[in-house]
Structure 1
Amino acid sequence: MKRLFYLVNTIDSVESISEDLHRDGVSNWRFHVISKDDAGLYSHHIHTASVLDRTDLARFVERGLIIGGLFAAFFILPLALWGGLEWPTSAFVAMGVFAVLAGGWLGGFGGIGTENYRIRRFHKDLENGKYLIMVDVPKAEVERVEALMAGLHPEAALRGESSSVNNPFAAADGRVHIMH
């Protein structure tokens, strides 16, 4: 799946784009809008982006799980194998599981307060009242959706694309493939 990013200036454009994309078969689950005006989106029955689209929660949880797993591998596993402790194996497994889950939980604290790395480059536009439309499209349908948007909504210039899957190792500056 590819995620296409479009910026528009008005809620009327967002509503018109939403109707056209729905008519073309794009469901609400593949269409997300971010705006300062959440009440306006709600009153126009526009599908808003979830907390996972707005924040870096998922990416930070993934990073925390990885760090917890590395902690378990480098500290708890050697302790279990060569530590000389007479504890049951289940105690070491429990400590390893705890390390992984604690890493994910702690990572979530950082992610919930951090703007999603994919939308960070649109921060100034969103603060200035624009609407960011994100459309998740199967790779085989990208050209068709881009043509539909260019033909029906020239006011919504394609501003970038990325994968719709989180990447815990993505650049922190929000780099996505930029359209020129």
Structure 2
Amino acid sequence: MRRRIYWLLPDLASARRTMDDLLLARISEPNIHFVAREGSDMTGLHTANVLQTSDVIRAAQAGLVIGGSVGAVLGVLAAIFFPIFGDSPQWGMVAVLAIVGAGFGAWASSMIGISTPSSRLKRFEPAIEQGQILLMVDVPRSRVEEIEERLQALHPEAHFEGVEPNIPAFP
């Protein structure tokens, strides 16, 4: 189980030094993510990807549930009122339409979610727009305190912004 630690860094030089210190602390690069305002030079930093900066995962999950539910309801109606063979309900249509509805719902919702900024990062938007850089580092639960103390000692210019108890499995 990993925890996500948030830090706000004042500038690019501080972010690069912090990245180096995290690598020396044996935090692998795929677990270090930086977010800066549009057009910032992020050379030498592992920038956050679309899964970390948008609500695509949350939207896809919601679309999966809603689409599956709507598909199941339509499947029940189709099975009862529009049987394919004979006059008895075709209950297999419920499963088929629920799966199709879930797939379509997840796809359609993810297309919307990919263009929506992450609700987890909303509170950092003003600081990022002012030129600060957000660091998100995913560490094992047992190392959270160690990494917090290390960053605080080595980077007094950085601001600790909290720990997220449950990070998503994919981003």
Is the contact made by 1:7 and 1:131 (CA closer than 8 Å) also made in structure 2?
Answer: yes
* Aligned-pair identity (%): 28
Mapped pair 1:74 → 2:73:
yes
- Pairwise CA RMSD: 2.0
- Shifted more, 87-96 versus 105-114: the winner is 87-96
Q: Distance in 2 between the 1:136 and 1:107 partners?
A: 26
- Matches of 1:20 and 1:70 in 2, distance apart? 48
Aligned-residue offset at 1:73: 3.0
Tell me which residue corresponds to 1:10.
11
Alpha-carbon spacing, 1:84–1:91, altered in 2? closer, same or farther (3 Å): closer
How many correspondences in the alignment? Answer: 163
Task: Tell me how far 1:78 sits from its aligned partner.
Answer: 5.4
Q: Corresponding residue for 1:155? A: 157
Contact 1:38 1:48 in 2 (8 A): no
2:54 match: 55
Report the Cα distance in structure 1 between the residues aligned to 2:146 and 2:58, rounded to whole angstroms.
30
Asked if the contact 2:68–2:100 (Cα under 8 Å) also holds between the matched residues in 1, the reply is no
Question: What stretches of structure 2 of length at least 5 have no aligned partner?
Answer: none
Q: Does 1:85 align with 2:83?
A: yes
**1:144 partner letter:** E
Query: How far is 1:118 from its partner?
Result: 1.1
Deviation string 1:58-105 (CA, Å, 9 cap, x unpaired) is: 11011101111221333314543x446135666554322210111011
Aligned partner letter, 2:30: W
The code of the aligned residue for 1:12 comes to A
Contact kept, 8 Å, 1:62 with 1:104, in 2: the verdict is: yes
Q: Is this contact kept in 2: 1:63–1:104, CA < 8 A?
A: yes
Alignment of 1:100-115 (within 5 A): 100-115=102-117
Change (3 A) 1:40 1:84: closer
Q: Which deviations, in whole Å up to 9, do the C-alpha atoms of 1:9-53 show, x marking residues without a partner?
A: 1111000000000011111111000002555212xx110000111
* Equivalent in the alignment of 1:116: 118
1:30 aligns with 2:28: no
Q: Partner letter of residue 167 of structure 2?
A: S
The whole-number CA distance in structure 2 between the counterparts of 1:37 and 1:16 is: 21
Q: Do the aligned residues in 2 keep the contact of 1:9 with 1:129 (CA within 8 Å)?
A: yes
1:46 aligned onto 2:55: no
Distance between the aligned counterparts of 1:161 and 1:38, measured in 2?
Answer: 27
Q: Compute the TM-score of the two structures, normalised by the length of structure 2.
A: 0.86
TM (norm. structure 1) is 0.82
| Residues 54 and 116, structure 2, Cα contact 8 Å, conserved in 1 | yes
